[in-house]
Amino acid sequence: MRPLTPGQRHKVANDNSDITSYVPEKSLLRPIKRSGGRNHTGKMTMRYLGGGHKRRYRIIDFKRDKFDIAGTVKSIEYDPMRTGRIALIQYKDGEKRYILAPQGLQVGQTVLSGKSVVPNVGNAMPLASIPLGTIVHNIELNPGQGGKFIRSAGTYAQLNAKEGKFVVLKMPSGETRMVQSTCMATVGAVSNTDHILEVHGKAGRIRWYGRRPRTRAVVMNPVDHPMGGGEGRASGGQPRSRKGKGLRGQKTRNKTKASNRYIIERRTKGYGSK
């Protein structure tokens, strides 16, 4: 299509060829109440939020606790609440659930959960049962908790080693950490790997997501931000947050955080390593 406007000319969007249905399963939808960034007294506590397209929440099965019951992929769908695709699964007993769709999952395929299932794409099993070198997503931090990380588009972790009650995972950030071997994970990488290449093309498309324009700190007054004030166009000095915390070189992770002992190697430099 020939671009007729700057918004069309600069936009880079997905072709959505992997989506097979645009009608969600009604029984798995829930309404979403919007706050516009205000608390129960009406005071704004989060800036730059508001507006956006109306959305409904899809209930996702992060636990994958339907063990040893085969489920068939009925459709691959778009979810407005997340970057990856979701898959509608219908089990043999008639129950329907949404799961995070891994890359390569096709309509008509069968997925399973359990200790002794084959490690095919879309199958969920304890980390102890997954072969070394396998890429996984939707990983639990505590057994039975449900998947907590590696859930966004195109992400995956690699199973590098097994050490007693723990397994060693290589994260997308480069971090190497231990996770209990009884935690569940799903085989494969999350779908929609091209999401990182998307370009919105115009400011209005950001508004559809419910994000309002962000005011630069250097144009504020001193009462509103440490980088505000000054005569003329002042540079703002050293970059820092609204509460005065430094933003360059200052580590923000708690040194006494309980999960520190599970981290073998920190994130690689240049990937949020602060």
Helix (H, G, I), strand (E, B) or coil at 168: strand
Alpha helices per DSSP H over the chain: 6-10, 203-208
Total domains present in the chain: 2
Residue 126: Cβ within 10 Å count: 18
pLDDT for res 273: 45
Position 274 scores a pLDDT of 44
Task: Please indicate, yes or no, whether residues 226 and 191 belong to a single structural domain of this protein.
Answer: no
| pTM assigned to the model | 0.90
3-class SS of residue 209: coil
Residues 71 and 89 sit within 8 Å (Cβ to Cβ): yes
Q: Is residue 49 part of a domain?
A: yes
Same domain, 136 and 167: yes
Tokens coding 120: 């095919």
3-state helix, strand, coil in the chain (%, to 5): 10, 25, 65
Q: At 168, phi and psi to the nearest 5? A: -105, 125
What pLDDT score does 224 carry?
A: 94
Q: Domain for residue 139, yes or no?
A: yes
Q: At 24, which CATH number? A: 2.40.50.140
- Same-domain status, 170 and 238: no
107 and 222 together in one domain: no
What is the CATH number for 245?
4.10.950.10
- pLDDT (tens digit, 0 to 9) for every residue of the chain, 274 residues total? 789 999 999 999 988 999 999 999 999 999 999 999 999 999 999 999 999 999 999 999 999 999 999 999 999 999 999 999 999 999 999 999 999 999 999 999 999 999 999 999 999 999 999 999 999 999 999 999 999 999 999 999 999 999 999 999 999 999 999 999 999 999 999 999 999 999 999 999 999 999 999 999 999 999 999 999 999 999 988 999 999 988 887 787 899 999 999 999 998 765 544 4
Looking at the structure, tell me whether residues 43 and 90 fall in a common domain.
yes
148 and 240 housed in the same domain:
no
In a domain, 190, yes or no: yes
Q: Identify the domain containing residue 92 by its residue range.
A: 6-195
Asked if residue 129 belongs to a domain, the reply is yes
Asked whether residue 184 falls in the same domain as residue 238, the answer is no
* Cβ-contact 57, 98 below 8 angstroms: no
In a domain, 210, yes or no: no
45 and 118 assigned to the same domain: yes
Do 51 and 126 belong to one domain? Answer: yes
Q: Are residues 130 and 181 in the same domain?
A: yes
Specify if 167 maps to a domain: yes
Q: In this predicted structure, what is the pLDDT of residue 269?
A: 67
174 and 238 both lie in a single domain: no
Say whether both 231 and 105 belong to one domain: no
Q: Is 206 domain-assigned?
A: no
Instruction: Tell me, yes or no, whether 213 lies in a domain.
Output: no
